[in-house]
Amino acid sequence: LDADEFRRQGRLVVDFIADYHTRIDEYPVRPSVAPGFLARKLPETAPERPEPGDALAAALRDVRDLILPGVTHWQSPRHFAHFAATASNVGALGEALAAGLNINPFTWAASPAATELEVVVTDWLGKALHLPEALLFCGGGGGTLLGTSCEAMICTIVAARDRKLAEIGEERIGDLVVYCSDQTHFSFQKAARIAGIRRGNYREIPTSRESGFTLSPKALLAAVRADVAAGRIPLFLCATVGTTPTAAVDPIRELCAVVAGHDVWVHVDAAYAGAACVCPEFRHAIDGVESVDSFSTNPHKWLLANMDCCALWVRRPEALTSALGTDHDVILKDPSSSAQNGHSNVVDYKDWQVALSRRFRALKLWLVLRCHGVEGLRSFVRSHVRMAVAFEAMVRGDARFEVPVPRRFALVCFRLRRRSIAGAVGEKRARDEVEEHNNELNRRLLEAVNATGRAYMSSAVVGGIYVLRCAIGNSLTEERHVQEAWAVVQEQATVVLAAETT
Ligand code: PLP
C-alpha cells in the first residue's frame, strides 16, 4: 500500500463519487437493460497482469460508461421505491475510513477501541431512539451492529431457541412455535427455518384492512391458546414497527401482554420506522418496548448511515452469547483472544453474531451522530414525513385516486380507484373480477411511471389489493422532486386510463 499512490487514487475516487452525486438527477432512476448486458461487454477472464497505464482511471471510466448505465440509482432524489438506503458524506467517508483501517474486531482484544466504540455508539443511538435502558449496556442489556435485519432475526431466534431447549430438552425442538403476521418481512420466515422451527409451526397471523394490517392481539391470543392446548410451546413473537408493504405498526404493548406468562421471546423488527423514534412525536410507535427482549432497526435505511448497518439491542446479552458464543481452542489460544489476555469481562462481538469476522461499522455511525447530531437526524426524518404528507394530500386531491391505507411515517400507499366494469355489479365473483381488473390497471400504471425514468416507485399487494408505494427518504429528495413525481403519476394515469377506454 503506497501512501502517495493511495492519495492520488483516493482523489480520483472521491472526485468520481462527487461528480456522480452532482449529476445523479440526470440518470433515469431505473436502468433499461436486459439480463446479461454487462457480461457481454466485459472480458471473460480477469487480466493476468495489471492493465497498462493508469488502471484505476481506466476502470473508473468503465464504471461511468458500462456500470452506471446499468444500476438503479438508489441515491437519486426521484427514487421512491422500497425503503430508501440513505447516504451522507460522513456515512460514505466513515465506510472509507473503516475500509482504510481494515481491522477485524471480532473480539475485544482483536481491536479494543473498535469494540468499545460499538458499545458506546449503540448506547448513544439507543438513547437517541428513546429505547429503554434495559436494552442498553448502561442498563444491563446491550447493542451490536450487524449488516441486516435478517441477521438480527437469526441471532435472536437462535438465542431464544437455545434458552428454551436448555429448559425443556433438545428433543422438543419440533414443538416450538413462532408467531408473526402476514405482513412480517419474509426474512423472519428464513430465520425461523434456519433455526430449525418446523414449517408447520410458523404462525403467520392474517391481518385485515380494517385493522390497518396490524397484528391483532386477539388473533395472537387465540393462536397461542390453541398451540398450548395442543401441547406445543410458544417460543418467539416477531412484532413489526413499520411493515414493509404499508409501514403498519403492530401494537407492542398489547402483544407483549398476550404472551406474558408463556416465556415467549418478543423481538421488534423496526428496520425502517425505528429511525422515526429519534423524534419524540413518533416515539409512541414503540410504546410497550419496555417489555421486549430485543429490538432492531437499520440506520442505513433512514438515519444517514450508508449501507450496511443494522443495530440490534438485546435485554439479556448472555442469551445471545450462550447460543452463538464459541470457546473453540483456536480462538482461545490466539493472542487476539480476550480470554487469553485475561479480559473476561469484555464484549467479544463474535459471540453476538453468526460469523467470526466483522466490519468496523461503529465508525461511520459514530461519525454520523457526531457530524449531524440527533437534532440533525430529527430534521432529516421530519423533512421526509412533511413531504409524504404533501404527497398524500396531492393524491387525495385527485378524484381518480385513493389512499386505501393511511400514510404512515414517510410512506404513502395509493392507487387508482376501483371503477365498475360492464355487467359486474353485486355478485362477489364480479366484485373480485373488478378488483383484479383494477389491480392490473395499477400494475400498468406503476410500470408506466417507472418506464419514464423520472420517478421510481414500488408496489405491494395487501388484503388482495395492489397499491403503489411512494417511500420518501432519500437525502437528495426535495419538495420539487415529490411534486414532479406526482405530476408523472398523474400524466401516466391519464395515458393508462385512456388506453382502457379505447
Ligand atoms: N424488516 C422490514 C420491516 C423491512 O422493511 C426489511 C427490508 O426492507 C427487512 C426487515 C429486511 O431488512 P434487511 O435487508 O436488513 O435484512
Give all domains of the chain, ordered by start, each with its CATH number. Answer: 3-75 (1.20.1340.10), 140-324 (3.40.640.10), 373-501 (3.90.1150.10)
Q: Which residues line the pocket of ligand 1, CB cutoff 6 A?
A: 83, 148-150, 185, 187, 240, 242-244, 269, 271-272, 298, 310
Among 215, 244, 301, which residue has the most ligand 1 atoms within 8 Å of its CB, making it the best to mutate? 244
Cell triple for 73: 440509482
Between the CA of 245 and the centroid of ligand 1 the distance, in Å, is 11
Bridge partners, 467 (sequence order): 460
For residue 404, the CA-to-ligand 1 centroid distance in Å is 23
State the distance from the centre of ligand 1 to the C-alpha of 190, rounded, in angstroms: 12
206 C-alpha to center of ligand 1: Å?
Answer: 20
- Which ligand 1 atom lies nearest to the CA of residue 82? 8
For residue 157, the Cα-to-chain-centroid distance in whole angstroms is: 18
Q: Are 294 and 79 in contact (CB under 8 A)?
A: no
- 3-state SS string over 4-36? HHHHHHHHHHHHHHHHHHHHHHHCCCCCCCCCC
Does residue 469 contact residue 243 with C-beta atoms inside 8 Å?
Answer: no
ipTM confidence score: 0.98
For residue 142, is it left (φ>0), alpha (ψ between -120 and 50) or beta? left
* Amino acid at position 293, single letter: D
Minimum-distance ligand 1 atom for the alpha carbon of 273: 3
| Nearest residue to 125 via CA among 370, 291, 353, 349 | 370
Q: Rounded CA gap, 434 and 457, in Å?
A: 24
Query: Is residue 210 exposed (0-12), middle (13-18) or buried (19+ Cβ within 10 Å)?
Result: exposed
Question: What is this structure's pTM?
Answer: 0.96
Minimum CA distance residue for ligand 1 atom 15: 148
Quick one: CA dihedral 168, 169, 170, 174, positive or negative?
A: negative
3-class secondary structure, 347: coil
Q: Beta 233-240 vs 176-181: how paired, if at all?
A: parallel
Each residue's pLDDT expressed in tens, for the chain with a length of 502 residues: 899 999 999 999 999 999 999 999 999 999 999 999 999 999 999 999 999 999 999 999 999 999 999 999 999 999 999 999 999 999 999 999 999 999 999 999 999 999 999 999 999 999 999 999 999 999 999 999 999 999 999 999 999 999 999 999 999 999 999 999 999 999 999 999 999 999 999 999 999 999 999 999 999 999 999 999 999 999 999 999 999 999 999 999 999 999 999 999 999 999 999 999 999 999 999 999 999 999 999 999 999 999 999 999 999 999 999 999 987 666 666 777 777 777 778 999 999 999 999 999 999 999 999 999 999 999 999 999 999 999 999 999 999 999 999 999 999 999 999 776 655 555 676 778 888 999 999 999 999 999 999 999 999 999 999 999 999 999 999 999 999 999 999 999 999 999 988 7
Task: Give me ligand 1 centre to Cα 354, in Å.
Answer: 18
